[in-house]
Chain A
């Protein structure tokens, strides 16, 4: 299917008092129409920054894009000015965040705040906006009645609040939703209900999604494809089953081995070292100081993508060497 969003070699840094934080080191990501792609990685790897960059929501002047493109149906979102960004948000791309209580305004009712969004973005009247609000609430699995429209965020449970945020995000018909850890603050039984909702939004309304999560299980159960991030780059991307059942990048393999699923604590594997400080990241492949398969070249030149199948690639010299057929490989 066609590409809805294409992020090409996105580079971004933050200028802070301590120095320049090299947050994104060439992110490549494609999102197709009507698919859920998971952006998976540990804290600080740049998942959320990537999402915020797509929407132009990063703080300026601290955040500085130093290279790359974000193409939405061929148009570079990074080239838009403030007014054009305003028009784009909500209509083309929308976002929901981890903490629904923090992203809803406590002094407005649910009905008020969602219909206000519709009125601003779609430039429609009060009644039409209210109608769109009811439709969005129903699509998000909430009863679109007066009681709900008139309730304030604190009167709703965590799961209902997250549904209200989802309703707001889809209220203006955006074909792409960026969901940043939408279930992390929720209990598993409620998480299951929200994941079901994400799948329904894809299947019934055709909404493509970037699902940002640190939870490999959440990604495994909902995503069509997965991109694994480490220290500011996507290191492996492919179909969910390819990436999780047959991981090839040493980081993806190590991450999967850390999961406690069905293992006793003494069988758990760990990754040596810790996540690098991005003010002074390791040169070339940023994973090399922790990698079990590190070679000399990993310390001097950043690896490009090695295509493993039509859908599956990994950015790693060790993988490239294996693909070329064994131990000879790179000197």
Chain B
């Protein structure tokens, strides 16, 4: 079966400057040659630090950024090739929940209006049917009729995120893009939203494109994961496999840098030095080579093509298969 969403060689560049006198030929490499696929009913996570391009990928899928190159094939349609109207019809099956529920909901609209808006725009439900559908949606996310006529400021962060989820589910989408949906929430609230997202996925057969920087959150919810660094994917594979047996030095260093809440599992606070280089003039060859502990001569000049190491595991690195990142030696 073809995947629900297939992103092929997606590239998004933004021009630098833009004023009359400052216009230059420089571009920000926000996303460079990124490919991945999401199966129906699956959760695919894009992880990486700020500026790695994960949100730009999501915005390109939503049609909020125009790709410089590549294709985005959703449910058999290449979204980048569609005309505006056809694209808009196809996009009803893709919905989004943003990070900050304090800015993604209009303060002037009641909960009823927020959830009704997509239904009014896209369906011919009217009157009672519309109201019943809204109540059903609110109940799905753990809210009730008593919340219908309130406005966002009367709700806590977790409740607002539930409202945003209800709005995203209104048109029965096949794919929901979740852009850091729990990053603005406290851990006890985050846990509830994660539980809710998993329940909804099971009941409705939704696919998620889950964007996050928190590896523990990703581990708890994702089936597959792609790790991004400076506009490119370093490594893709089954979430459990990538997060427990990283093959790319960046993934490895990222995992080891995360402070574990278990005081006996010491994080390696010195494993990665320096900072992310400029996305206007990214390093040649492998983009991670300036910070990599295992840098070789070839890394400076030759881009490591992603190669399949088995089981759908793609790694972009010149190190040989079987290289032990903990010990720094090849074991087989």
Whether, in the assembled complex, A291 has its beta carbon less than 8 Å from a beta carbon of chain B, the answer is: no
* B275 engages A157 (CB within 8 Å): yes
Q: Which of B247-285 contact A (CB under 8 A)?
A: 253-254, 257-264, 266-273, 275-276
Which of A160, A190, A221, A241 sits near B259, CB closer than 8 Å? Answer: A221
Q: Enumerate chain B residues within 8 angstroms of A275, measured Cβ to Cβ.
A: 186
Which of B194, B215, B271 sits near A268, CB closer than 8 Å? Answer: B194
Which of A160, A192, A218, A269 sits near B271, CB closer than 8 Å? Answer: A192
Complex CA–CA separation, A57 to B215 (angstroms): 36
Whether, in the assembled complex, A42 has its beta carbon less than 8 Å from a beta carbon of chain B, the answer is: yes
* B188 engages A258 (CB within 8 Å): yes
Which of B158, B192, B215, B259 sits near A215, CB closer than 8 Å? Answer: B259
Known interface pairs A157-B275, A189-B254, A271-B188. Does A261 touch B156 (Cβ–Cβ under 8 Å)?
A: no
Stretch in contact with the other chain, from A1-9, A84-92, A98-106, A193-201: A193-201
A 250-268 to B, binary, CB cutoff 8 A, 1 in contact else 0 = 0000111011111111111
Most buried by B among A159, A221, A265: A265
- Closest chain-A Cβ to B254's Cβ sits at a distance in Å of 6
* A188 engages B186 (CB within 8 Å): no
* B270 engages A188 (CB within 8 Å): no
* A270 engages B191 (CB within 8 Å): yes
Q: Which of A186-239 contact B (CB under 8 A)?
A: 187-193, 195-196, 199, 214-218, 220-222
Q: Enumerate chain B residues within 8 angstroms of A241, measured Cβ to Cβ.
A: 263-264
Q: In terms of DSSP, what is the predominant structure of the interface of chain A?
A: helix
Interface size class of A (residues with CB under 8 A): 35 or more
Known interface pairs A258-B188, A266-B198. Does A193 touch B261 (Cβ–Cβ under 8 Å)?
A: no
Complex CA–CA separation, A325 to B267 (angstroms): 38
Most buried by B among A42, A157, A188, A217: A188
* A217 engages B261 (CB within 8 Å): yes
* A189 engages B257 (CB within 8 Å): yes
Q: Which of A287-325 contact B (CB under 8 A)?
A: none
* A220 engages B192 (CB within 8 Å): no
Which of A160, A220, A222, A266 sits near B261, CB closer than 8 Å? Answer: A220
Whether, in the assembled complex, A245 has its beta carbon less than 8 Å from a beta carbon of chain B, the answer is: yes
Whether, in the assembled complex, A21 has its beta carbon less than 8 Å from a beta carbon of chain B, the answer is: no
Whether, in the assembled complex, B62 has its beta carbon less than 8 Å from a beta carbon of chain A, the answer is: no
Sorted nearest first, the 9 A-B pairs with minimum C-beta distance are: A217-B259, A187-B49, A265-B198, A260-B220, A221-B259, A42-B186, A192-B257, A258-B191, A216-B261
| Residues of A that sit less than 8 Å from B by CB | 42-43, 157, 159-160, 187-193, 195-196, 199, 214-218, 220-222, 240-241, 244-245, 254-256, 258-271, 274-275
A-B contact pairs, 12 of them (CB 8 A): A42-B188, A189-B253, A189-B254, A220-B262, A220-B263, A240-B263, A255-B188, A259-B187, A259-B216, A266-B195, A268-B195, A275-B186
Beyond the given A187-B49, A191-B259, A192-B268, please list 19 additional residue pairs across the A-B interface where CB-CB is below 8 A.
A160-B275, A187-B213, A189-B49, A189-B254, A192-B259, A214-B186, A220-B263, A222-B259, A255-B187, A256-B261, A259-B261, A260-B191, A260-B217, A261-B216, A261-B219, A261-B260, A261-B262, A265-B198, A274-B158
